[in-house]
Structure 1
Amino acid sequence: MNTETNTENRNPVVENVRAALAAAGLADTVIVVPDSVATAAAAAAVLGCDVGAIANSLIFECDGAPLLILASGAAKVDVKLVAREHGLAKISRATADFVLEHAGQPVGGVAPLGHPCPIRTFLDTSLAQYPVLWAGAGSHQAMLSISYEQLLATTTATETAVR
């Protein structure tokens, strides 16, 4: 896997994710690859891992506020289940502009951390089976590795089944 190490071409959004990792006391595990990893399938193919080990950072809208669901790349999120289980109003798909506004990162590259303001977060319990998870790191070509426990602690997420 060919990864970028040239600091001159670093994306400021990815650098913000790196800073968030450091602020959380975590190692900088961000890698930048030449091809797009904007989908779980593409990321798994580039990284050589199971698609289930990809922690998709999915931003939804709930009562006008952002809601982040960190879901396995192998899962299709059942928003009605999540809403029912957590006493939430209707959860709906967010627009790309809403995601960028609240996460500060583009759809397909949203990281689980490094957002302008804290976002209420749910973590898919099916991700716990993988010793190493991969998540977006702020761009369509950046990924970070993290353990389930680190992801849970760093995001202060609520563990939940998403399907």
Structure 2
Amino acid sequence: MSIENVRQHLKKFKLEKRIVEHEEVGDTVEHAAQVLGCDEKQIAKSLTFSINSAPILIVLAGDAKVDNQKFKAFFHTRPKMLLFKDVEKLIGHVPGAVTPFAVKKNVKIYLDKSLSRFPYVYTAGGSLNSTIKLSIIELEKYVEHNGWIDVTKGWALN
């Protein structure tokens, strides 16, 4: 079960109790914001792509959209999202519950600069009804990421 994998991963950092399970499902940015009573932009969504047949995960703010030109400039290829049916097999979490924690070892994770404007954000917790509240400093420290990138548009510094 994905949430148990996330719990075990976060236990290494004494953060496993930060996972909150909700009665309602928060499988989209909109649903998660409603469940949490926060702005959609504070939801750290995790989008999955394939780069040269290898899976990657980009964590970005809920109000940000991938900018195709910025993506291509950074990754030297057009963005190609993973198929819904392949996400769990390649990433380790079901669509709607993808979190940057406890992913498969071969997945490269990137944090998008759209997140950096917030003191804290909410990520999925490994199930459709779980979340984790983390400061940006904690997110940067505890996510095994490959760096900060700028591949989004549609958000403003506010």
For the aligned pair, the TM-score class normalised by the smaller chain equals 0.7 to 0.9
Q: Do residues 91 (structure 1) and 73 (structure 2) align?
A: no
2:71–2:78 CA contact under 8 A, matched in 1 = no
CA apart distance, 1:118: 4.2
- Residue 104 (structure 1) aligns with: 92
Q: Does 1:62 align with 2:34?
A: no
- Structure 2 equivalent of residue 35 of structure 1: 24
Percent identical pairs in the alignment equals: 27
Q: What is the distance in 2 between the residues matched to 1:114 and 1:96?
A: 19
Report the Cα offset of residue 154 of structure 1. 2.2
Matched AA of 1:58: L
Structure 1 match to 2:156:
none
Classify the secondary structure of the residue corresponding to 2:77.
coil
Which amino acid counterpart does residue 77 of structure 2 have in structure 1?
A
Following the alignment from structure 1 to structure 2, what is the Cα–Cα distance between the partners of residues 131 and 76?
A: 20
Please give the TM-score of this superposition, normalised by the length of structure 1: 0.85
Q: How many residues align?
A: 150
Return structure 1 stretches of 4+ with deviation > 4 angstroms: none
Pair 87,109 (structure 1): closer, same or farther in 2 beyond 3 Å: closer
The 5 Å alignment of 1:44-63 reads: 44-63=33-52
Q: Are the equivalent residues in 1 in contact too, given 2:55–2:106 (CA < 8 A)?
A: no
Q: Which runs of 5+ in 1 are unaligned?
A: 1-11
1:116 Cα deviation (Å)? 2.5
Q: State the secondary structure of the residue aligned to 1:93.
A: coil
Structure 2 residue 118 is the aligned partner of structure 1 residue 127: no
Q: Unaligned stretches of 5+ in structure 2?
A: 154-158
